[in-house]
Chain A
Amino acid sequence: MNMLRRKLYRDLMHLKGQMLAVAAVVACGISVFVSMSSVKYSLEASRQQYYSRYRFADVFMQVKRAPEFYRESVGSIPGVASVTTRVMADVTLDVPGLDEPATGRIVSIPEYRGMAGLNDVFIRKGRYIEAGKSEEVIASKPFMEANGLEPGDRVGAVINGRKKELVIVGMGLSPEYIYEVQPGSFFPDNRRFGIFWMGRRSLESALDMSGSFNDLSLALTHGTSEKDVLMQLDHLFKPYGSFGAYGRSEQLSDRFISDEIKQVGMQITILPSIFLGVAVFLLNIVLRRIVTTQRDQIAVLKAMGYSNEDIGFHYLGFAMVPTTVGSVIGTALGAWLGRGLMNVYGDFYNFAELVYYFRIEDVALSVLLSFIAALFGAWSAFRKAVEMPPAEAMRPDTPVTYRPGIFQRESLRKKIPVPIRIIVRNLERRPLKAALTVIMIALSVAILVAGRFTYDVTDRMMLVEFSEKHREDVTIVFRDPMPFAVRYNIASLDGVLEHEYYREEPVRISFGHRSRRQSIKGVESAEGLQRLVDKDNRQVVLPRGGIVLTKTLADILGARPGDMLNVDFQQGRQLRRQVMLAGTIDEMLGLSAYMNLRDLDRLAGDGGALNAAYLRIDSSKAGRLYSKFKEMPGISGIMMLKALRKSFDELIAKSMNTSTIILTSFACILAFSVVYNGARISLSERARELTSLRVLGLSIREVSIILLGEQALLTGIAIPLGFLFGIGLSVLLSLALSSELYRMPLVFSAYNFIFAFVVIIIVATASGLAVRRRLVNLDLVAVLKTRE
C-alpha cells in the first residue's frame, strides 16, 4: 500500500489549498471546543479547590445584631457542621493618591490564624494580623493592586463615626469575594471598593459590637436540606433583625462565577457545532469532486486488482489527513487560547490560585467528534469510489443534463448576457450544492454578526446603566436608615446641585407557594436622577400604590400584573403586608423591586426612612465635597458613576477584544474556506469548458466573470441570509446566556451588519483572486488534450 500512500500524499500536496481550508475549519472547531472545555473545567476545579481549601460556607446570613451565644443554638441545628460568626461593616476610606472617597467592607477575622473558621483568607503577600494590634488589617488583592498599595501602606477609614488609620500588613483573597463588587453594584471598581480583614476584637470594639455578631456563615453536612436550615435560621433570628438566610446560589460572588461557568458551557456546544457542520459540508464537496476527477484512476486501480476496501480507505485518507492536521493545530491553538482566556477570567475573578487544566479527555472527545464528522462528510465519496463499477469508471462521467431554465423565455434570453446565462444555468443544475454553499457562507456571516452582537449588547448596557437609568454623579449610602430631615443636611453641602433619595428595605416577597428574598427600592421619583429603563431602553412608569418587579423576578414568582403579592418585612416591626404587582420591567441586570418611596413607607408601617442619596454635583467643587464625604460619619459607602463606568470600560474592553478577535478570525477562516473551495471545485469541474471558451476567444476577464460570478452571486445571496442567521444565532446566545443576573437585549447596530458585510466581501474577494490566479495559469493546450 506504499504507493497508494505516496499517491495520497502527492494528491494532498496538489490540493493543499483546499485541504488546508478544510483543516483550518476543523482546527477552529476543535480549538473552540478544547479551549472552552478546558476553561470550564479549570474554572470549576479552581473554584472547587478554593472553596474547599479556604472553607467557603454553604449558608450565609446577615443580622442587625445578635448575641454571640446564639452561635451554639445555630450549631445545634441538625445538619450544621460548623458555624462562624463575624462582625462586618461598610466604611468610607481615604486612600492615598485617590481624591474621591472609596468604600471598604471590613470583615472580622480571628485574632490568631489557627482559629480561622469558615471563609478563611488566603495571604498572597505580607502576613496575618498580629493579635492586639487594632490598626492592622489585611486588604484584598484587587483593591491593593488597583491602588498600587503594598503591605506597610496606610489607609484612612471612618469606622462607626470615628476616624481611624489602618495599617495594611497583608494582601489577601477570600472565596467569598472571587467577584469583588460593591454591594448594590454589578461592576467591579477595584480602585474605589475593597475588602479589609481586621481582628475580631478590634473590629468589635470599633463598632461597639462586643459580645455580638452581625454576620453568620454555616457549613452543612453532606445531604442536609439547605431549605430546612434556612427556615430554622430565619425563625431563630427573626427578633434580631435578620436580613434573611441564603445559600450559595444567592451569594453574589458565587452567583457570578457559576453563571460564568454555565455560559462557557453553552459556548462549548454552539460554535464547534457550526464549525464541524461546515467541515462536513466541505469534505463532502471536496471529496466528491476528487472521486469524480479520479474516476479513471479508480478504474485502473480496480483493474489492477486493488480491492474496494483498499480504494475506499485511500479516499477516506483525503478526509482523515486534513482532519488530523486540523486536530493537531486545533488542539495546540485551543491550549493556547484556553490559557489566554483563563488570564482574561483572572482579571474578572480573583482566585487564590487560578489553575489552567488542559485535559486530554477534552482533546480526545473533540478529536473523536471531528473524525466522526469527517467520516460523515466523506461517506458519500467513499461509497461512490467503492461502488463505482470499474468498467463504467473507465468511461468519462456522463455529461450533465441541462434543462430549460428561467432564461429559456425568449424575451428574457435576449436581454441576459451569455456569461450570466451560463452562471445561472450552472446554479440551476446543482440547486442543492448551491443552496448548501449559500448556507455555509451565511453561517460565517452569522458568526460575525453574533460576535459583534455582544459588543452592541455591551454598548446598550453602558447606555442604559450609565446614562439612561442613572444620571447622578455620586451615590452615597447611609450607615443607618435616616429620617426625612437628612435631606436638609445634604442640601446644605456646597456643590450639591440635585439630590434624590431612596429607601432599600429587605423583605421576602411571596406569591402562592413561591417566595424570594429581595429588597424593595422605594424611589422618590422614577423620572429624576434615577429612572426605570428596560433593556430596550424604554422608560417605564412607576404607578402609585403598587410594586414593579423585574420581569424575571415576576416570572420566578409566577406572578402577573394585577396579582396580590405578600411582602414580609425583615426589619423593624416585621409586618406581613400585601401589595399589588402593578407592572414588570424587563431589565438587563439583576432582580429588582421598585415602589414609590411614600408607598413603601406606608407599607412598612413606620415613619419612613432613607438609605441612600443620588447626587448631581458641581464638578468644580467636587474635590472639596469629596473631602467632606471622607469625614462624614454617617456614610458607609460611596459610588461614583463615571469612575465605575471607566473601570468597567477598561475591564470589558480587554475581554471583548479578545473574544471578538477570535470570533472574527474564525468567521473569516470559515468564509474563506467555503468560498475558496467552492470556486476551486467550480474551476476543476469546468476547466475544460472555460478553456474552450478561452480558445474560442473570450478574454480572461470574461471567463473569470463566469467562474467567479457564480461565487459572487452565491455570496451576494448568502449575506442577507447570514444577517438573518446572525440574528437567530444571537437570539440563541441571549437565551442560552441569560440568567438571574444578566439578560441580553436583542440589539443590532448598523455597524454590526456593515462590519460583517465588509469582512465577507474582503474574504470572498481574496479567495476569488486566489482562484483567478489558477485560471490565468491554466494551460490551454494541456487542458484540451486530456480527457474529461
Chain B
Amino acid sequence: MDDGTRQVNGERGLVLRISDLCKSYVMGEVTVDALRHVSLDFFHGELAVLLGASGSGKSTLLNIVGGLDVPSSGKLFFHGKEITAATEEELTDYRRRSIGFVFQFYNLISSLTALENVQLVTEISEKPMPAEEALALVGLGNRLNHFPAQLSGGEQQRVAIARAVAKRPELLLCDEPTGALDFQTGKLVLEALEKVNREIGTTTLVITHNVSIAGMADRVIHLSSGEVTEDLRNASRLSPSELVW
C-alpha cells in the first residue's frame, strides 16, 4: 500500500482487484449467500455506481472492500496487496490510510461538532487536508461549530463526506449516501461527491438503489442476488445538477 507496492503493480492505475469473492451468512437455520463469485477491477480516479435492489449484496461488497467484513472465500487486492490475508492491525491501518466511508445514516458522533467530527479523522491520518478545508469543499465552511443535531440531513451527510475525504483516501466508499435525503438535498450531496472525485482524484464507489444516480458515474455495475449482472461504462458523465428522479 506504500509507494513501493504501487510501482510494482503491473496494470497501470489499477487500485482494487476483487477476485471470485463469496460471502454467506448463517441466519438462524438458513444460510444466505450474500455474494456469489464476484470479480471486479477498479482504477484510479474512477467513479463507479453499484446498483441493486435491497438484499442484492451491495453493502456486503462495500463492507468487504472497506475492510469492515471478511469474505467467506475469494480474494481482494489493494494495489497488489492481498487485503483478505491482512491481520487485524493491517486492516485497521488500511482503513486509516486508504479508505473513506460515507454511510446512509451519516453516523456522525453526536457529541462532537462538525469540525470535531472531521478532526476525529485528521488526527489519526498522515497527510490530511485541514478539517476546515474539507468542510469548505462540501460547502459547509460556515457551519463548523454546529453539532449534528443542529444540522439538516443533507448538511450532516456533507459533514460525513468531508470527514471521509479529509484524510485524502484513495478509495471513497459511499453506502446509499442520498438514501435518507430528499431530491434537492441529495443533489447537493452528490455534487460534493463529484467535486471530491474530480478535484482529488479519489476512486469512488457509490452504492444506491436509485437508478437516476447512475448518470453521473464513469461506470455502472448492477448486482442482483449477490452476482454482478451488468458492468457498463457511460460514454460521458452527467453533472449531478442534471440528474432527475
Binding site for B on A (CB under 8 A): 1-4, 6-7, 10-11, 14, 296-297, 299-308, 389-392, 394, 787
- Can you sample 14 A-B contacts with CB below 8 Å? A1-B123, A7-B109, A7-B120, A300-B107, A300-B109, A301-B120, A302-B68, A303-B68, A303-B95, A305-B95, A306-B124, A307-B89, A390-B68, A391-B68
Q: Is the CB–CB distance between B101 and A297 below 8 Å?
A: no
The proximity string for B residues 85-105 relative to A, scoring 1 for CB distances below 8 Å and 0 otherwise, is: 000110011111101010101
Interface residues of B in 42-77 (CB under 8 A from A): 60, 63-64, 66, 68-69
CB neighbours of A301 from chain B (8 A): 120
Q: Is the CB–CB distance between A3 and B88 below 8 Å?
A: no
Contact of B120 among A3, A10, A302 (CB under 8 A): A3
State the Cβ distance, B94 to closest chain A Cβ, in Å. 8
Does any Cβ of A come within 8 Å of B116's Cβ? yes
Q: Is the CB–CB distance between B121 and A304 below 8 Å?
A: yes
Q: Is the CB–CB distance between B105 and A296 below 8 Å?
A: yes
Does any Cβ of A come within 8 Å of B112's Cβ? yes
CB neighbours of A14 from chain B (8 A): 111
The complex places the Cα of A715 from the Cα of B107 at a distance, in Å, of: 37
Given A2-B123, A299-B107, residue A305 in contact with residue B112 (CB < 8 A):
no
State the Cβ distance, B125 to closest chain A Cβ, in Å. 8
Chain B, Cβ-Cβ closest to A389: B69
Q: Is the CB–CB distance between A297 and B68 below 8 Å?
A: no
From B64, B123, B125, name the one whose CB has the most chain A CB atoms within 10 angstroms.
Answer: B123
Does any Cβ of A come within 8 Å of B208's Cβ? no
The 3 closest A-B pairs by CB, nearest first: A305-B96, A10-B111, A391-B69
Secondary structure class of chain A's binding surface, majority of residues: helix
CB neighbours of B117 from chain A (8 A): 3
Q: Is the CB–CB distance between A305 and B93 below 8 Å?
A: yes
The complex places the Cα of A302 from the Cα of B68 at a distance, in Å, of: 8
Q: Is the CB–CB distance between A305 and B92 below 8 Å?
A: yes
State the Cβ distance, A403 to closest chain B Cβ, in Å. 15
CB neighbours of A305 from chain B (8 A): 92-97, 99, 124-125
Q: Is the CB–CB distance between B68 and A10 below 8 Å?
A: no
The complex places the Cα of A300 from the Cα of B105 at a distance, in Å, of: 11
Does any Cβ of A come within 8 Å of B119's Cβ? yes
The complex places the Cα of A296 from the Cα of B160 at a distance, in Å, of: 13
Q: Is the CB–CB distance between B68 and A389 below 8 Å?
A: yes
Chain B, Cβ-Cβ closest to A393: B68
CB neighbours of B107 from chain A (8 A): 296-297, 299-300, 394
CB neighbours of B108 from chain A (8 A): 300
The proximity string for B residues 101-145 relative to A, scoring 1 for CB distances below 8 Å and 0 otherwise, is: 101010111011000110111011100000000000000000000
CB neighbours of B69 from chain A (8 A): 389-392
CB neighbours of A296 from chain B (8 A): 105, 107
Contact of B116 among A6, A11, A297 (CB under 8 A): A6
The complex places the Cα of A783 from the Cα of B89 at a distance, in Å, of: 37
Q: 20 other contacts beyond A297-B109, A308-B88, with CB at 8 A cut-off? A: A3-B119, A6-B111, A7-B112, A7-B116, A10-B112, A300-B107, A303-B66, A303-B95, A304-B95, A304-B96, A304-B163, A305-B96, A305-B125, A306-B92, A308-B92, A389-B68, A389-B69, A391-B60, A391-B68, A787-B105
Q: Is the CB–CB distance between B109 and A303 below 8 Å?
A: no
State the Cβ distance, B24 to closest chain A Cβ, in Å. 14
Given A299-B68, A307-B92, A391-B69, residue A11 in contact with residue B101 (CB < 8 A):
no
Q: Is the CB–CB distance between B112 and A6 below 8 Å?
A: yes
Q: Is the CB–CB distance between A304 and B63 below 8 Å?
A: no
Given A3-B112, A305-B96, A306-B92, residue A391 in contact with residue B63 (CB < 8 A):
yes
CB neighbours of A7 from chain B (8 A): 109, 111-112, 116, 120
From B89, B94, B112, name the one whose CB has the most chain A CB atoms within 10 angstroms.
Answer: B112
Q: Is the CB–CB distance between A304 and B101 below 8 Å?
A: yes
The complex places the Cα of A301 from the Cα of B96 at a distance, in Å, of: 10
CB neighbours of B163 from chain A (8 A): 304
CB neighbours of A299 from chain B (8 A): 68, 107
Chain A, Cβ-Cβ closest to B160: A300
State the Cβ distance, B137 to closest chain A Cβ, in Å. 18
Chain A, Cβ-Cβ closest to B115: A3
The complex places the Cα of A301 from the Cα of B101 at a distance, in Å, of: 10
Chain B, Cβ-Cβ closest to A305: B96
CB neighbours of B88 from chain A (8 A): 308
The complex places the Cα of A301 from the Cα of B119 at a distance, in Å, of: 12
